């Protein structure tokens, strides 16, 4: 910000200097020169802001076209000044824009070109293949299952970790709450573990979006900018990203899809752990955490029993399996017969 303010000031002074070269300069003309210089600097800064949102190929093509246009404009102006001896305010304005704009825009474009070549497009990894990059959010890093998936080879490629995610993890790890502190440190350990894997390339992305306050929104903006997918466990982030056209890999959805299929009428053996919400119900769990509701199994708490599946309910939180005791199911079948 300070550099841009200095540039505007120097441009305004340069505008005054152009009118100082004339014979008998007066205060109004100096003020006009100051305003013209500041206005030209403002236009150049607007051009810089627009260039930052464009891809590198568009910028190169635009710069080449601008150079050709400036050459043609210079030839026309040179011929016109020789034939018509032009020395007007418009002549000064054109000279001021060319004098200040070309060096500044050349500096911006050269800096961006040099940075992308030297760093191997680390800051803008979309140049290395759109769709192969994945952004990790805080929830999935702390969860840790993403590291297990990487070890099995189901996930590979380039993982992007934004700097603001690292700051959030560090803030959690420094929390006064012991539980939050443990979660934050676990997240940092998981990142360190993934970074040491051979098939995974972890890149720290410096891009930040100061105009965006929410971390989840920053992740979505970054994913759209670099053309990456988001790996998360956060259901709200999942919905927001999909609404904006960003692909999401949800670890919870993957685990739900990989759970064993249980069909109505199938017999399974479970351990009744506790009482259910309804009268007489018992609750058991499969090895993957799926809840099983057993009718009239309150008396069986603390025992292994055989149950028959009656129905399966799929919810956003996972699956619920409703069953009845096998002995009761057999009695029911005999009664029906």
Q: Report whether 217 contacts 132 (CB < 8 A).
A: no
Please name each of the domains of the chain with its CATH number: 2-118 (no CATH), 125-257 (3.40.50.1010), 261-336 (2.40.50.140)
Q: Can you tell me the distance from the alpha carbon of 256 to that of 295, in angstroms, rounded to the nearest whole number?
A: 24
Q: Can you tell me the distance from the alpha carbon of 33 to that of 17, in angstroms, rounded to the nearest whole number?
A: 8
Tens of pLDDT along 189-237?
999 999 888 778 888 888 888 788 888 889 999 998 888 899 998 888 8
Q: pTM score, two decimals?
A: 0.49
Tens of pLDDT along 23-40?
455 566 677 777 877 888
The DSSP call for residue 324 is E
* Dihedral over Cα of 17, 21, 27, 28: its sign: negative
Q: Report whether 272 contacts 303 (CB < 8 A).
A: yes
Report the share of the chain in percent with pLDDT over 70.
Answer: 67
Instruction: Give the number of other Cβ atoms within 10 Å of residue 50's Cβ.
Output: 11
Return the pLDDT at 22.
53
Closest by CA to 54, choosing from 108, 98, 102, 5, is: 108
Return the pLDDT at 7.
73
Q: Per-residue pLDDT averaged across 140-169, rounded?
A: 88
């Amino acid at each position: 910000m300070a550099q841009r303010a200095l540039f505007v000031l120097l441009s305004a002074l340069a505008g005054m200097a152009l009118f100082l070269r004339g014979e008998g300069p007066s205060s109004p003309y100096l003020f006009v020169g100051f305003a013209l210089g500041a206005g030209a600097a403002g236009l150049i800064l607007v051009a810089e802001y627009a260039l930052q949102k464009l891809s590198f190929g568009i910028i190169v093509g635009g710069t080449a076209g601008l150079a050709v246009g400036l050459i043609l404009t210079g030839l026309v102006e040179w011929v016109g000044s020789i034939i018509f001896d032009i020395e007007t305010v418009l002549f000064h304005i054109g000279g001021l824009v060319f004098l200040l704009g070309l060096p500044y825009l050349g500096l911006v474009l050269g800096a961006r070109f040099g940075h992308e070549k030297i760093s191997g497009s680390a800051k803008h990894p979309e140049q290395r293949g759109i769709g192969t990059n994945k952004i990790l959010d805080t929830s999935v890093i702390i969860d840790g299952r993403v590291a297990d998936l990487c070890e099995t080879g189901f996930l590979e490629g380039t993982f992007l970790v934004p700097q603001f995610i690292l700051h959030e993890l560090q803030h959690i790890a420094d929390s006064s709450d012991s539980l939050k502190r443990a979660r934050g440190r676990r997240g940092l350990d998981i990142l360190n573990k993934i970074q040491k894997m051979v098939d995974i390339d972890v890149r720290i992305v410096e891009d930040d979006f100061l105009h965006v306050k929410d971390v989840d929104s920053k992740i979505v903006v970054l994913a759209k900018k670099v053309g990456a997918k988001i790996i998360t466990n956060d259901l709200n982030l999942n919905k927001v990203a999909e609404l904006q056209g960003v692909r999401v890999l949800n670890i919870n959805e993957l685990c739900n899809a990989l759970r064993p299929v249980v069909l109505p009428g199938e017999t399974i053996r479970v351990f009744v752990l506790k009482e259910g919400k309804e009268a007489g119900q018992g609750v058991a769990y499969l090895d993957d955490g799926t809840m099983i509701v057993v009718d009239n199994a309150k008396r069986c708490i603390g025992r292994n029993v055989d149950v028959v599946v009656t129905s399966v309910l799929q919810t956003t939180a996972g699956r619920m399996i409703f069953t009845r005791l096998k002995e009761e199911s057999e009695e029911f079948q005999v009664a029906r017969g």
